[in-house]
Amino acid sequence: MLPTSIRAAGLLHRSSLASASPAIRATVTGARSFHACSCRLRAADPPSAPTSPSGPAAPGTMQSSAVPSTKIGRFVQYGGLAVKLGAGAIGESLSRMAGTSKPVIEGASPFLTPENVQRIVTTLTQMRGAALKLGQMISIQDSGVFPKEIEEVLVRVQNGANYMPRRQMKQVMANELGRDWQSKFKHFDPVPFAAASIGQVHRATLHDGTTVAVKVQYPGVADSIESDLAHLRSIAILSGFLPKGLYLDNSVAVAKRELLWETDYMREAAWLAAFRAVDLPGDVFDVPRPIMDLCTPRVLTMEFVNGVPLGKVADMSQETRDWVAAHLMRLTLHELFTLGFMQTDPNWSNFLYDPHAHRLRLLDFGSTRAFGATFLQHYANVLEAAANQDAAGVMHWSEKLGFLTGYEAPAMRDAHVAAVLTLGEPFAAGQEMYDFTHARDVTHKIRDLIPTMLEHRLSPPPDETYSLHRKVSGLFLLCTRLQARVPCRQLLLEAIEEFRARGETLIQLPEGVVPSPLEEVGVTCASA
């Protein structure tokens, strides 16, 4: 049930089993110091081309460009994009009539051309917010869905995030912290060292000497989420850009909810406090302290932490790689079955390794969400059945959880069970350590099942699994990148056993840390 590579994540996105594949943002760093946020591109030296923990990024530089901050301004941009896409489609249609077209996909919509994809990427990069976020979600799809030419352009969505001009940044800071905001810092670097889909990050120093990172949200992003997603939905339907079998409306609804969470920096500060208030496994994790006096819904200030991005760990010893991967696997299961809430953004920059202190630092809690006990009970049963290669158990608990309706055709049910059992192989009996160098084999097995599941799926996956499987797929991709050996079965069964020993109850957060987290996310689950 757990995706074992980013390819598997993309494939399962379109099966009845897994969530919509979100973007695992290729995080970029050029220094050992990295900030607690969803950092994507290092901007301390804008002319330099960024690099990614997972390999070199696409050539390019960070640029300063104003963010359209009003609904009218954003509507104009989307309207212009629609016109350009239409013109491109007309040109492609004429080329096809003349016999001079060289389509990248035979029989595809005339909207689906490399030129139109380039237009979409350019607009998403400028608009940021929901536009860039959804573009990143699309860009993670498996190569079997998009041809190589389009996939290469989509990668630029992950690597493209401009930062706002200094004038715009100062206006946001003044609106949030007051016109005298600069007096609250001993030093504030006006050039961001990172930029992402929702905000950019600056390094600063407080008057007491504390080095902090200040995440500043792009203006208009939070207020335009619903309209942005509506425009993007229309463009996606018009262009035929998305693959068949994708539950677009459900994906958009989930994206809207998660974007609303991520644009509320006070919510993120509260989750930071929550993670600092609980015991994390192994005594190896650190969570930066939010500076609450300098936090608002649009500005988040926290301790600046040091470490190397996990992509760099791939160059370290096998022992170190195994240690990092095993602790992150343990943390993920602890979040799920002990805490009942999880930081779900799989961006590798959200986890730093300090080789000197031999510790892991956890960053960016904007996408944290809680899970209901009933959902977790059923989910644990599905995982256990998959680990034990129990086909009947997988079928039964998949229906309870809501992955299947019970009315699917036999071909769909067989494909679903085969996919879950395949994805349970890392947790199967008979192996003390799972070697993630074999994880890509799982992807190839799943790929053959996708056409059947696309054709016969009757319902989208449970909403909870969109963010959950985003985290898990990112973790498995990381373990594969590190070529780590992890005692997956032992860690899973221990986590489930402890969960059940507590009567399948979750820990209680200190009162007032995060108000009503389950009520906040509207957790639902198929009835038992």
For residues 166 and 132, membership in a common domain is answered with: no
- 345 assigned to active site: yes
| CA dihedral sign of residues 99, 102, 106, 112 | negative
Neighbours of 47 (CB within 10 A): 7
DSSP type of residue 64: B
Beta-bridged to residue 204, according to DSSP, are: 188, 212
Tens of pLDDT, residues 231-245:
777 766 766 656 555
Q: What is the pTM of this model?
A: 0.76
In a domain, 513, yes or no: yes
For residues 108 and 209, membership in a common domain is answered with: no
163: helix, strand or coil? strand
For residues 459 and 396, membership in a common domain is answered with: yes
| DSSP strand pairing (359-362 vs 285-286) | parallel
In angstroms, rounded to a whole number, what is the distance separating the alpha carbons of residues 327 and 463?
27
For residues 239 and 348, membership in a common domain is answered with: no
How is residue 280 written in tokens? 């994390």
| CA dihedral sign of residues 447, 451, 456, 458 | positive
Predicted pLDDT at 31: 34
In angstroms, rounded to a whole number, what is the distance separating the alpha carbons of residues 460 and 421?
20
104: helix, strand or coil? coil
For residues 434 and 410, membership in a common domain is answered with: yes
Q: Taking a C-beta distance cutoff of 8 angstroms, is the pair 526, 400 a contact?
A: yes
Tens of pLDDT, residues 397-431:
999 999 899 999 999 999 999 989 998 999 999 99
For residues 232 and 112, membership in a common domain is answered with: yes
For residues 416 and 375, membership in a common domain is answered with: yes
Domain range enclosing 152: 65-160+223-258
In a domain, 524, yes or no: no
Of 286, 322, 345, 390, the active-site residue reads 345
Beta-bridged to residue 301, according to DSSP, are: 214
In a domain, 525, yes or no: no
Low-confidence ranges of the chain (pLDDT < 70): 1-71, 73-78, 82, 92, 99-109, 111-112, 114, 121, 124-161, 235-236, 238-247, 507-528
For residues 330 and 438, membership in a common domain is answered with: yes
- Total of domains in the chain: 3
For residues 336 and 385, membership in a common domain is answered with: yes
Q: Taking a C-beta distance cutoff of 8 angstroms, is the pair 23, 139 a contact?
A: yes
Predicted pLDDT at 380: 96
For residues 156 and 177, membership in a common domain is answered with: no
In a domain, 523, yes or no: no
In angstroms, rounded to a whole number, what is the distance separating the alpha carbons of residues 217 and 198?
6
